[in-house]
Amino acid sequence: MLAAFFVLVVEILENLAYLANASNLVLYLSKFMHFSPSSSANIVTNFMGTAFFLALLGGFLADAFFTTYHIYVISAAIEFMGLLILTVQAQIPSLKPPTCVLVDTNSSCQEVSGGEAAMLFAGLYLVALGVGGIKGSLPPHGAEQFDETTPQGRKQRSAFFNYYVFCLSCGALIAVTFVVWIEDNKGWQWGFGISTATILLSVPLFFLGSPFYRNKIPNGSPITTMFKVEFR
């Protein structure tokens, strides 16, 4: 269970880093990037949908070509880069549209465009790619730490997933209360910064468990086998 403990702690940090921004992102896009409410909502749903769709890719790569260990590390690095980009943009005024008063009908709010928009979407979709890889690799990595050939191992693995959902919820609770409050009252650069620091902290914590991990060697995927049969 010691190996699984590291996975559970990492999940708290990872879900905190992701949901702290995703849950409040519509406000950031409309207030600071000057997208319309409908465009902001559409961007957020596309962002979140991409993240969860890419979880399928993360799981496939872990099964067919890499280990869940390697997919997590690569994905965490990608998410960190995305969050770092968003943090820098939130901190530096010249990387955002000029401030305006949305409720003032005489004020012309300039929607983010050009290089600023490219920076925003690069950050968002790097985060989506990283989140997808983590969500497709971290739960199975935790499951690999138990011997499913024994009754005790199967029982412990079942208990692990109960704890996993609990830790996921703990990360979400901290994200949508404490970090969202920080974003609304202290500034989005602090919210993005907390998420960046959190995902960065999760990587060395994950590495601390390396001596205890059991890593399943990839033995191919039913999907790759199907394509080999279909196109040979």
Q: Domain with 46 in it: what CATH number?
A: 1.20.1250.20
pLDDT digits (tens, 9 = 90+) for 79-134: 999 999 999 999 998 888 888 766 555 556 788 888 999 999 999 999 999 999 99
pLDDT digits (tens, 9 = 90+) for 6-30: 999 999 999 999 999 888 899 999 8
In whole angstroms, give the CA distance from residue 23 to residue 100. 24
Residue of 45, 46, 26 lying closest to 36 (CA atoms): 26
Residue 106 lies in a domain: no
The radius of gyration computed from the CA coordinates of the chain, to the nearest angstrom, equals 20
Residue 105 lies in a domain: no
Give the structural domain span for 212.
Answer: 2-99+111-231
Residue 184 lies in a domain: yes
**Burial of 17 per CB tally in 10 Å (0-12, 13-18, 19+):** buried
In whole angstroms, give the CA distance from residue 153 to residue 146. 5
pLDDT digits (tens, 9 = 90+) for 36-67: 889 999 999 999 999 999 998 888 887 778 88
Residue 69 has pLDDT above 70, yes or no: yes
In whole angstroms, give the CA distance from residue 189 to residue 90. 5
- Both tokens of 144, joined, read 């690999």
Look up the pTM and report it.
0.89
pLDDT digits (tens, 9 = 90+) for 205-225: 999 998 888 887 766 666 555
User: Total domain count for the chain?
Assistant: 1
**What percent of the chain is predicted at pLDDT more than 90?**
51
The position carrying tokens 């996975």 is: 7
Residue 104 lies in a domain: no
Q: For residue 47, what is the enclosing H or E element?
A: helix 37-64
- Lowest-pLDDT choice from 43-47, 139-143, 144-148, 227-231: 227-231
